[in-house]
Amino acid sequence: DISFPRDLPSIRISPSVLWRRLQLILVLCFVNVGFLAITPYVIYGHPLSSPTLLLILWLSINGPICWWHSRKKQSDNVRQISVKHGIWILEIENRKYYCELNAEILCWQWILIIPLYSAESRSVIRLVILRDSISAEENSILRRWIHSECG
């Protein structure tokens, strides 16, 4: 006799503001490291080099990146996840994926990473849930369910 874990009620996962800010910080770090690498060549190779010119160049590189990131549409809008009879159901943009747990769930205080395998799309979906992605009540329900059913 196969016993399935308790069902997990549907939990709404919103896009994380913290995750978007972390992405912007990483992109700006990579761009600025490149900028710092070429700065000596700009200073010594250009007759009009000055701190003002470097500041204008720096703003002309970082400004559009910040503007683009603020205007970029969130690709994964509101998602929902639930478990019924041992099958994980992930709904992204009105499309349902029926998944199995692929590996152990990472459950830290500020982040949850749930690796799911979708046989339909033959891919692993790593669901990253930060603390600001779900309400405090749903966060508590999800964490208690994971600890009781997944160990």
- HEC string of 136-147? HHHHHHHHHHHH
One pLDDT digit (tens) per residue for the chain, 151 residues: 455 567 888 888 888 888 888 888 888 888 888 877 877 766 666 665 667 777 777 788 888 888 887 777 655 566 888 888 888 888 887 888 898 888 888 888 888 898 989 888 788 888 888 888 889 898 888 888 888 876 6
At 92 the three-state DSSP class reads strand
Give the pLDDT of residue 48: 59
Classify 4 in phi/psi space as left (phi over 0), alpha (psi -120 to 50) or beta. beta
Residue pair 39/65 in contact by the 8 Å Cβ criterion: no
Residues 144 and 18: beta-carbon distance below 8 Å? no
- Expressed in angstroms, the distance from the first to the final Cα of the chain is 21
Place of tokens 């720096």: 58
C-alpha 105/C-alpha 102 separation (Å) is 9
Angstrom distance (rounded) from CA 88 to CA 99: 5
The string of pLDDT tens digits covering residues 114-141 is: 898 988 878 888 888 888 888 989 888 8
Instruction: List, for residues 134-149, the tens digit of each pLDDT value.
Output: 898 988 888 888 888 7
pLDDT of residue 40: 72
Which CA distances in Å does 144 have to 47, 114, 126, 150? Answer: 65, 14, 20, 10
pLDDT value of residue 55 = 78
> Do the Cβ atoms of 131 and 139 come closer than 8 Å?
yes
